[in-house]
């Protein structure tokens, strides 16, 4: 299999130019079953790969994106792209997910709006966008579709599944649902379940969207989109992604292009201007229905609801788990990661944990930092070397 890397830019540490590939799964035969009891057919998946697959498939790393991410995790789509993939600081030659060593796969999540089937996709039964006819999905469904993609690619073993925030939930789900396939899971800035406060913020976001008159019960694809509601949802969520300290240091009470208060209902402070820009940009590019579906999937995630379920679900898990958190993250604060570690330790799983100091709150996992990069590199390289030693010791070709 050839990766989607087109140009080679090892010198810059970038995977260079990449393209997003599309594949249609569950086109024939049985549809994909969903946790809700519904099923879906066909399902299109958008994905990118970086690096080369080993003959023994010992070097596969599956990258899972968060709420607003997509398949484009590294490199550039065009030479004049001002932005690189969302985890470009971590994926590339010489980077923690080193494309000289690993074969990296990242796909747009089920329910998404960037190539993989979601509410904005065409429902083959109606030839119209699904809208709210798209079935509700779970983190388990997202992982199930990723597994189907890997099956399609002929890949049956994953060295590591890695993700931050909701991506960390998906990585945890992989370790639970496909224990025979996963050697390691990297769970960053995540949580074993949403708290009442997390659910509350999601509920407000959904309310902002569904109360936008342009929402039109989700049937807005032919006309005006509920950009205003979505932008409000994003502005609010964005506050939770940054730390109070980070906002203070970046903006404080600095005024925006003015020396005195406006004494009008105008933008006075730089932080207001920044948030409005973030909301407006996101409102135009993201699909509001996807926002509804994905926040619901996060609300539902709760793999360890009681001791019996926890014991049953963790019994077959043998992956090495590495949990990372950031001390200023208040969306999923470190105590949530510690709770996950406590559960895993209680069940004698192979887990390690590190809390990092960062001023950047929840979004820290997206920002390149030598200390996080080193920790991630150490984890995935150890997995790789253990795997090769194992193969070597049982006489398989290395």
Residues tagged active-site: 165, 329, 362
Task: State the minimum distance, in angstroms, from the CB of residue 385 to a second copy.
Answer: 40
Contact with a second copy (CB under 8 A) among 7, 36, 352, 378? 36
With binding defined as CB under 8 A, does residue 355 bind a second copy? no
- Count residues binding a second copy (CB under 8 A): 55
With binding defined as CB under 8 A, does residue 342 bind a second copy? no
With binding defined as CB under 8 A, does residue 343 bind a second copy? no
* C-alpha to C-alpha distances, 282 to 68, 223, 237, 288, 339, nearest whole angstrom: 9, 18, 11, 10, 32
Q: Are strands 97-98 and 43-50 parallel, antiparallel or unpaired?
A: unpaired
Contact with a second copy (CB under 8 A) among 3, 199, 343, 377? 199
Q: Which of 128, 122, 131 is nearest to 44 (CA)?
A: 122
Task: State the minimum distance, in angstroms, from the CB of residue 64 to a second copy.
Answer: 22
Contact with a second copy (CB under 8 A) among 95, 101, 144, 193? 193
Task: State the minimum distance, in angstroms, from the CB of residue 270 to a second copy.
Answer: 8
With binding defined as CB under 8 A, does residue 38 bind a second copy? yes
With binding defined as CB under 8 A, does residue 37 bind a second copy? yes
Site string for a second copy, 119-138 (x = CB under 8 A): -------------x--xx--
With binding defined as CB under 8 A, does residue 268 bind a second copy? yes
With binding defined as CB under 8 A, does residue 176 bind a second copy? no
Residue 37 or 397: which CB sits closer to a second copy?
A: 37
Q: In the block, which residue shows the tokens 């020396």?
A: 259
With binding defined as CB under 8 A, does residue 186 bind a second copy? no
Cis, bond preceding 254 (omega within 30 deg of 0): no
| Residue 29 backbone dihedrals phi, psi, to 5 degrees | 75, -150
Task: State the minimum distance, in angstroms, from the CB of residue 228 to a second copy.
Answer: 4
Contact with a second copy (CB under 8 A) among 171, 186, 194, 298? 194
Task: State the minimum distance, in angstroms, from the CB of residue 278 to a second copy.
Answer: 10
Residue 88 or 333: which CB sits closer to a second copy?
A: 333
3-state secondary structure the chain: CCCCECCCEHHHCECCEECCEEEEECCCCCCEECCCCCEECCEEEEEEEECCCCCCCCCEEEEECCCCCCCCCCCECCCCCCCCCCCCCCEECCCCEECCCCEEEEECCCCCCCCCCCCCCEECCCCEECHHHCCCCCHHHHHHHHHHHHHHCCCCCEEEEEEECHHHHHHHHHHHHCCCCEEEEEEECCCCCCCHHHHHHHHHHHHHHHCCCCCHHHCCCCCCCCHHHHHHHHHHHHHHHCCHHHHHHHCCCCECCCCCCCCCCCCCEHHHHHHHHHHHHHHHHCCHHHHHHHHHHHHHCCCCCCHHHHHHHHCCCCCEEEEEEECCCCCCCHHHHHHHHHHHHHCCCCEEEEEECCCCHHHHHHCCCHHHHHHHHHHHHHHHHHHHHHHHHCCCCC
With binding defined as CB under 8 A, does residue 377 bind a second copy? no
Q: How long a stretch of residues is the chain?
A: 398
Give the Cα-Cα-Cα angle 173, 175, 177 (nearest 5 degrees).
60
Contact with a second copy (CB under 8 A) among 27, 200, 346, 390? 200
Q: Which stretch binds a second copy (CB under 8 A): 122-130, 196-204, 364-372, 373-381?
A: 196-204
Contact with a second copy (CB under 8 A) among 80, 127, 263, 306? 263
Q: Which stretch binds a second copy (CB under 8 A): 63-71, 100-108, 293-301, 337-345?
A: 293-301
Task: State the minimum distance, in angstroms, from the CB of residue 242 to a second copy.
Answer: 8
Q: Which stretch binds a second copy (CB under 8 A): 23-31, 45-53, 151-159, 272-280?
A: 272-280
Whole-number Å distance between alpha carbons of 278 and 95 = 28
With binding defined as CB under 8 A, does residue 215 bind a second copy? no
Residue 133 or 352: which CB sits closer to a second copy?
A: 133
Q: Which stretch binds a second copy (CB under 8 A): 99-107, 152-160, 242-250, 383-391?
A: 242-250
Note the residues at the interface with a second copy (CB under 8 A): 36-38, 132, 135-136, 193-197, 199-201, 203-204, 206-208, 210-211, 213, 228-229, 231-232, 235-236, 239, 242, 244, 247-248, 250-253, 261-265, 267-269, 271-272, 275-276, 279, 292, 296, 299-300, 302
């Amino acid at each position: 299999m050839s990766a989607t890397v087109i140009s080679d830019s090892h010198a810059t540490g970038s995977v260079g130019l990449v393209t997003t590939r599309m594949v249609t799964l569950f086109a024939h035969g049985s549809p994909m079953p969903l946790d809700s009891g519904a099923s879906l057919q066909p399902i299109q998946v958008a994905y990118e790969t970086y690096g080369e697959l080993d003959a023994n498939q010992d070097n596969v790393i599956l990258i899972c994106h968060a709420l607003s991410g997509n398949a484009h995790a590294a490199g550039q789509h065009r030479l004049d792209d001002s932005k690189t993939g969302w985890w470009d600081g971590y994926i590339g030659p010489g980077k923690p997910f080193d494309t000289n060593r690993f074969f990296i796969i990242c796909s747009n999540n089920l329910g998404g709006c960037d190539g993989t089937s979601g509410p904005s996709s065409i429902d083959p039964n109606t030839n119209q966008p699904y809208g709210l006819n798209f079935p509700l999905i779970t983190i388990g469904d997202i992982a199930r579709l990723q597994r189907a993609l890997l099956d399609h690619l002929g890949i049956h073993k994953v060295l590591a599944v890695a993700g931050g925030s909701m991506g960390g939930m998906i990585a945890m789900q992989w370790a639970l649902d496909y224990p025979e396939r996963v050697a390691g899971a990297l769970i960053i800035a995540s949580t074993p379940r949403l708290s009442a406060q997390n659910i509350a913020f999601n509920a407000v976001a959904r309310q902002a969207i569904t109360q936008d008159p342009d929402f039109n019960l989700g049937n807005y694809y032919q006309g005006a989109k509920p950009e205003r509601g979505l932008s409000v949802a994003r502005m609010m969520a964005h506050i939770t992604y940054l730390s109070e300290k980070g906002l203070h240091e970046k903006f404080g009470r600095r005024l925006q292009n003015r020396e005195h208060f406006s004494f009008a209902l105008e933008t006075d402070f730089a932080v207001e201007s920044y948030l409005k820009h973030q909301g407006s940009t996101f409102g135009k590019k993201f699909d509001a229905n996807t926002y509804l579906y994905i926040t619901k999937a996060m609300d539902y995630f709760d793999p360890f609801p009681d001791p019996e379920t926890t014991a049953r679900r963790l019994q077959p898990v043998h992956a090495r788990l590495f949990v990372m958190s950031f001390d200023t993250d208040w969306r999923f604060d470190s105590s949530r990661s510690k709770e996950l570690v406590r559960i895993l330790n209680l069940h004698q799983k192979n887990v390690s944990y590190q809390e990092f100091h960062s001023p950047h709150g929840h979004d820290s996992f997206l920002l390149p930092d030598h200390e996080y990069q080193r920790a991630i590199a150490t984890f995935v390289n150890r997995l790789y070397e253990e795997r090769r030693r194992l193969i070597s010791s049982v006489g398989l070709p290395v």
